[in-house]
Structure 1
């Protein structure tokens, strides 16, 4: 995109032999074409330039000269100023990585995204930001991983060394993601919402007795017994907690998380939509029927799940929904930061804290 006299002009450049300018062609609208033809008609074919960079710098010079000649108020606008030393180094490094893996590039080449596929066929994206001191200056990187990318930066290799470290870290995560993918494909995951980010190693799943389990998988030993936190009414979670303590040694590394939990707790895990559940109770609870908030009938309220459960009827509620309901009842009462009242369904005593 070029900007002349405050007007955007789309520029299309074909570079069949990138980064060489051989065969380069340019096409744009009639206004910019007439300007280029009047002064530098050879630019339209790019015949006298060795590299695409030389061509872009010349195009920028032409646009800037025109802006200055008409005393345009938008001085300084136009094509992004390319840092030639940075561009030359980055071009060489991206050639090594492969241009097919470059998905997005900013106009000044300081921000770009790289893609790769791991051994399991999963696609990953890493965002890279380079400063004006590149390659001596270490780039900033951002990727969807549980931990930050750790690497020993080598200025002579530049971003190539970062990509190597990124791919090694992806390789080390294969067992973790395989375990989590198995769980995501078979169980109804309440949190995080689908599709879960690759950085998330925690899952909250639902059992058939309306108790949910929050699991945290170990990065070093993903198939071992995970950290488990039971959520629900105490009359239901207490027996399950006792069974976890009693039977955790029966955890089988050859079985999935879902199968292990069902064996140890003797309670079925609610299946994901489209996955067949076994038994009458399992079929009744398949696809997570009845787990949404009993007031708003939604599972997610912004980032919140229905975490409050009535000990009497086992209906679940969002904190915000239940609080607003109780505030509207004349027989509710407050005590410090807690409100007491009747459950909307069974009319038994229920309470909740004031929302933050």
Structure 2
């Protein structure tokens, strides 16, 4: 693989098996976009390799298909074929007037040099135009993290922009030496991962030992967990990623007669919070309960469908408004209940709150007006 980088440093593997490559081949100062796909069955032969070229290169190579196929059959590896391929293209480029002027290669050459510093094994993906690249990094727990970098054509004169799956905004320092901006960016990303490791450790324990109702698709940037604490009841916690062992913000969801005792007990025992213990242990201790375990219960036992639309998720949201009648306890989406109450002739409004009756038990129920 090292020799392939030397022959075509701008050709990037697109899969872990290194069967698909995409990028640029540079010949005579001209860069051509190219895509190569090796046959997954032929491990020792290139004869069934597929090569897709941009229109300029395809135009140059008209009538050369048999020669290319012969070179594929004779070459033992991709690097040696690409060397032969470039030798075939070079006289074609030099003989054409439109390629007499050398294309400015500073952008791609500079970018390839910076990626070499980081390591091509850290590249997860790169688009064909080199305008976006995804870099991989691992924290000390071997959790994979991805940094997406947007690369302007004016780079390095114009700074990069990036997106990282972190709980707080990633705002890297812009170095004075812009020639190493990408490698410095990656180093700062690795440093940021170390800052959040305790936060992720605490959330990983919650994810493993409790039923997480929300978010449905968890990622490393989320600072919220809604945890099932019983049938029709849950607690939503919001954790400070800078101080993950501090007391989180807690919001109890469920019938008041169910959650009021847990809420009251937690309020009375806050002084027992021990920052040396995990979120999981502290929450169970202060609430005086054992969280339902995924090892012995089913998530469906705690995932209540909306009593109006009969669905669990609506626009990504779960039912979190409940009737406080102990004989009812129906759950509703905020939006569903809001529209239902608005349609009642008996509904009344006061100070941003709608007052009406539960669709099932007809006992009083209220909801904040939606903005």
TM-score range, shorter chain: 0.7 to 0.9
**Which structure 2 segments of 5+ residues have no match?**
10-24, 26-45, 72-80
Query: Residue by residue, what CA displacement relative to the aligned partner does 1:242-272 show, whole Å, maximum 9, x if unpaired?
Result: 3223211212345442332222112342334
Please report how far the alpha carbon of residue 238 of structure 1 lies from its aligned counterpart in structure 2 after TM superposition: 4.3
Q: 283, 296, 311: which one pairs with 1:276?
A: 296
Contact 1:128 1:139 in 2 (8 A): yes
The corresponding residue for 1:157 is 180
Instruction: Tell me which moved more, 157-166 or 34-43.
Output: 34-43
Query: Residue by residue, what CA displacement relative to the aligned partner does 1:86-145 show, whole Å, maximum 9, x if unpaired?
Result: 111111111111112212222222221111222222111111122233224321111111
Instruction: Tell me which moved more, 225-234 or 118-127.
Output: 225-234
Which whole-Å CA distance do the structure 1 matches of 2:273 and 2:105 have between them? 59
Does residue 174 of the first structure (1) align with residue 197 of the second (2)?
yes
The corresponding residue for 1:344 is 359
The corresponding residue for 1:197 is 219
The corresponding residue for 1:125 is 146
Please report how far the alpha carbon of residue 37 of structure 1 lies from its aligned counterpart in structure 2 after TM superposition: 5.6
**Which structure 1 segments of 5+ residues have no match?**
1-13, 67-80, 278-284
Computed over aligned residues only, the root mean square deviation of the Cα atoms, in angstroms, reads 4.0
Map 1:4-23 onto structure 2 (within 5 A).
Answer: 17-21=4-8
Please report how far the alpha carbon of residue 235 of structure 1 lies from its aligned counterpart in structure 2 after TM superposition: 4.5
In the superposition, the TM-score normalised over structure 2's length comes to 0.70
Please report how far the alpha carbon of residue 162 of structure 1 lies from its aligned counterpart in structure 2 after TM superposition: 0.4
Map 1:38-187 onto structure 2 (within 5 A).
Answer: 47=83, 84-152=105-173, 153=175, 154-187=177-210
In the alignment of these two chains, the number of paired residues is: 314
Which whole-Å CA distance do the structure 1 matches of 2:169 and 2:50 have between them? 43
Secondary structure in structure 1 of the residue aligned to 2:251: strand
Which whole-Å CA distance do the structure 2 matches of 1:91 and 1:259 have between them? 48
In the superposition, the TM-score normalised over structure 1's length comes to 0.73
Which whole-Å CA distance do the structure 2 matches of 1:29 and 1:131 have between them? 25
Which whole-Å CA distance do the structure 2 matches of 1:166 and 1:335 have between them? 50
Which whole-Å CA distance do the structure 2 matches of 1:103 and 1:64 have between them? 38
